[in-house]
Amino acid sequence: MPAIALHNLIHDKHKLVLALVGIMFSVVLITLQLGILTNATHNAGGLVNNAGADVWVMQCGTRNVDQCETLSERRYYQVITVPGVAWAERLVVQFSPWKLPNGQQSTVTLVGLEPDSRLNLPWGMAVGQRDDIFHQNGIIIDKRERSRYGSAERPLSVDDRLEIGGHRARVAGFSSGVGTFTFAPYVFTSYKRAQESGKLRPDSTKYVLVKALPGLSAEELRDRILQRVNEVDAFTTTEFAAKTSYYWLISTGMGLGVIAAATISLIVGTVIVGQTMYSATIERLHEYGTLKALGMSNIALAGVVVRQAIMTGLIGYAGGAAIAYSVGNRLSQYNVPVEVPLALLAVMLVVAVGMCVVASVSSVVRVFRLEPAIVFRN
């Protein structure tokens, strides 16, 4: 049976090429769309997931990590007295204007860290050390933003002087792989400088991040904080990351748009492959009729069609996956938010083969209805 399927597959090379182009087009488009969604999901909750805290305490009603009302520092001192707290730190996350070299302004998300912070922020470094932000008005921004926040002719460099929120700053280093869902990249600086640049009152903060003592779960610590500290929300890291991702991806509709585009790509690819395979089946009705007259069962004939679909899917997937992986890596270098991990390529293998099998259903039905007497007709 595999030999028959392979013969049918390569018999008409033009139709084979057409089917492969349809599959590769779908694989590339779906993979890149899902790559954008994967990157957006990681970025949306990246700050929360990578900070290294167990519980986040914030003002009531906070919907995502990037947008939060101020919180009185009294809450910080109340939190550190809760039994089970190993340590707690204040954190400022605040949108702030960045003055570009041409005099125009853009927006960044300032992340202010306390001195000797135990938080794992930023979670990837390309140039410099994290603690450089505590000296000489230092800041750290991701290396992908060098041209965007400098210029194409002269990208940002270490020791460049600039202005954030009306205050002077100095580039102390560059992070790597630290993205945000919004168009305002994370800029890490000292806690005090973030307060000043964000125009926050000295007795206010944005978040209190808490680490639990060994043996105490994040859920138990969260419940203790909520029982002892009034007028705050408290979420575990998992909860707050999911809450942030849901807000940006679902509530704003941005993630749904990407999912819809990937679904349309899947439908288009399935239709193209289905039409091609059905056409190939119709052209070989006499051959299938001959096999049926010789005693081959419907199941066996269906197996030939399905094997042909699987072979087509595997070949098309191989080409499409290679193109998508290469394009995804290149786009990432130009700050286009695409992430194509190997796990996504594995998922796309199942999708590509499944698409071809589904597309072969109409061909299988046609073979089932085939009368062996067709071989005696002109």
- What is the tens place of the pLDDT at every residue in 320-331? 899 998 988 888
Q: Which residues does residue 99 pair with via DSSP β-bridges, in sequence order?
A: 105, 163
| DSSP symbols for 161-210 | EEEETTEEEEEEEEESS---SSSS-EEEEEHHHHHHHTT--TTEESEEEE
Residue 239 lies in a domain: no
What is the C-alpha separation between 282 and 365, in angstroms, rounded?
A: 11
| pLDDT (0 to 100) of residue 329 | 81
How confident is the model at residue 5, as a pLDDT? Answer: 45
| Residue 289: inside a domain | yes
CB 205 within 8 Å of CB 92: yes
**Counted domains in the chain:** 2
- The position carrying tokens 């796309």 is 348
Query: Tell me, what's the pLDDT at 55?
Result: 98
Token pair for 343:
């796990």
User: Which residues does 292 contact at the CB level (< 8 Å), separation at least 6?
Assistant: 298, 301, 370, 372
Q: What range does the domain containing 123 cover?
A: 61-230
Q: Which residues of the chain have pLDDT under 70?
A: 1-16, 269, 273-274, 276-289, 291, 333-335, 363, 367, 370-378
Q: What pLDDT score does 85 carry? A: 97
DSSP designation for 213: P
- SS3 of residue 51 by DSSP: coil
pTM, two decimal places:
0.80
**Residue 8: predicted pLDDT:** 53
> Is residue 238 included in any domain, yes or no?
no
Q: What angle do CA 273, 277, 279 make, to 5 degrees?
A: 120
Residue 98 lies in a domain: yes
pLDDT score recorded for residue 375: 53
Has residue 292 been placed in a domain? yes
Same domain, 211 and 307: no
Q: Which domain-ending residue is among 172, 198, 230?
A: 230
